[in-house]
Amino acid sequence: MTAQADHPFVYDGGALCCEAVPLTQIAAHVGTPTYVYSKRAILAAYRRYVEALAGRSALVCYAVKANANLGVLNLLARAGSGFDIVSGGELERALAAGAAAARIVFSGVGKTEAEIGAALAAGIACFNVESAAELETIDRVARAAGRRAPISLRINPDVDPRTHQYISTGLKFSKFGIAVPEAEELYRRAARLSGIEIAGIDCHIGSQITSIDPYVEAAERVFDLVDRLGAQGVGLRHIDFGGGLGIAYRCEIAPSIEQFIAALLACADRRGHGGKTLLFEPGRSIVGNAGALLTRVQVIKAGAAKNFAIVDAGMNDLLRPALYEAWMDVQPVVLRTGEKRSFDVVGPVCESADWLARDRSLTVLAGDLLAILSAGAYGMSMASNYNSRGRPAEVIVDGDQYHLVRPRESAADLYATETVLP
Ligand SMILES: *Cc1c(COP(=O)(O)O)cnc(C)c1O
């Protein structure tokens, strides 16, 4: 486990707790699998961003797709956070959670006219535009509504974030963003559209980034363009550096939130843009280390070449290992003595990709609880109902209390809206 100050999962007397609540208590009352989040850790990470930006005109827009639970969004909304959304569904969710529309930015490559209309009617802060065609659509929808839509163009700076290829978004062969020369032309076009108001510029180069260099490289390219646009009379109010800061899943040395912000502020100051409104869109670095997936071992199976601990959580509950071969830390909830053996921790889903951890040295018996740590981001938000499995319950711990913020789905929930032919 990492020794980060706000890591909320710690052992007390041999039993793993989230803040002051033993995970055994949650498993007994809520069952498993269950996602457990720490209120303290979520808010601490958010506040680290805010404090690192103190004295600046800045807005932290939490990326909803990392963890979209209403309870999580509401904690952040109450703390004053903005939100980065990527769909009309996330817009509705954020507003239902109490988000201020004026602090919402809307990213994504395939916004529909209906989604654009809804976001415009809600009065969001900015559309982060990803193509010339999208700009034309937003202009048309805005003019039809008698409005001007605030926009930013998402630049593809063509830098390698040195992370997994599935979560790299700022390289020139990526579907995301607009190449710099094209963006320059598109800003000139945007300035002539009566349904468009130019608000800013943005980029987002990837996720789980563990080095500051690619950010600074991307920022330099954004500032080059901002300067060229300024010389042509195209002014921008804000610069949005996106999200993507990595967290420690294992022993990665990710830059701290403070180091990350300081590097970008220094770059902005050096380039003479430190006085503009600066936006950040962190997702994983706010909620990742704040959550764990609590699961129970169903079966211990000795295969021909490997031992398997088959647990009640599967790839449908936590997709990261199957999708990215991600390494997730697995810890016993109650420490036992006895010889350790090597296990693959796998789920019950009928796919060979259904594994959560490989070759882990554990002392574990059927019936034991395991915690899969750093599962607060891209865990529940990527969960599916594959194999007609209801998605896990979700709990937020607050000190020595916990709150069920989403009950476990039942099988009946899953087919409740399906029908048979007459
Ligand atoms: C996913 C995403 C984010 C958040 O990324 P993290 O790695 O979770 O910080 C921010 N902005 C955009 C546009 C995204 O797509």
pLDDT digits (tens, 9 = 90+) for 246-257: 999 998 889 999
Q: Which of 159, 185, 186 is nearest to 173 (CA)?
A: 159
d(CA 155, CA 150): 16
Token look-up 């039942």 returns: 410
133 alpha carbon to ligand 1 midpoint, in Å? 22
Rounded to 10 deg, the angle between the 257-270 and 39-52 helix axes is: 20
pLDDT of residue 117: 98
Instruction: Tell me the pLDDT of the chain averaged across its residues.
Output: 95
Please check whether residue 179 is in contact with residue 232, taking contact to mean a CB–CB distance below 8 angstroms.
no
174 alpha carbon to ligand 1 midpoint, in Å? 15
The vertex-250 CA angle with 249 and 253, nearest 5°, equals 90
d(CA 35, CA 317): 9
Per-residue pLDDT reduced to its tens digit, 50-75: 999 999 999 999 999 999 999 999 99
3-state secondary structure of 345: strand
pLDDT of residue 162: 80
23 alpha carbon to ligand 1 midpoint, in Å? 29
> 289-314 b/e with 16+ CB inside 10 Å = b?
bbbbbbbbbeebeeeeeebbbbbbbb
Active-site annotation, residues: 350
**Site residues for ligand 1, CB cut-off 6 Å:** 63, 65-66, 84, 86, 107, 204, 207, 242-245, 281-285, 377
Model-level pTM? 0.96
Looking at the DSSP bridge assignments, the partners of residue 37 are 291, 396
The helix or strand, by DSSP H or E, that contains position 23, with its residue range, turns out to be helix 23-30
pLDDT of residue 175: 85
Q: Which of 81, 185, 155 is nearest to 125 (CA)?
A: 81
Please check whether residue 270 is in contact with residue 226, taking contact to mean a CB–CB distance below 8 angstroms.
no
Question: Relative to the CA of 281, which ligand 1 atom is closest?
Answer: 10
3-state secondary structure of 387: helix
64, 107, 382, best to mutate for ligand 1 pocket (most atoms within 8 Å of CB): 107
3-state secondary structure of 381: helix
pLDDT of residue 6: 65
pLDDT of residue 253: 87
Which residues does the chain have with pLDDT short of 50? 1-4
Per-residue pLDDT reduced to its tens digit, 316-342: 999 999 999 999 999 999 999 999 999
d(CA 95, CA 83): 10
Pairing label, strands 341-346, 355-362: antiparallel
Half-sphere exposure (Cβ direction) of 201: Cα atoms closer than 13 Å? 29
- The alpha-carbon radius of gyration of the chain (Å, integer) is 23
C-alpha torsion angle, residues 119, 124, 125, 131 (rounded to 10): -10
- Residue whose Cα lies nearest atom 7 of ligand 1: it is 244
208 alpha carbon to ligand 1 midpoint, in Å? 9
pLDDT of residue 40: 98
Q: Which of 245, 244, 267 is nearest to 254 (CA)?
A: 245
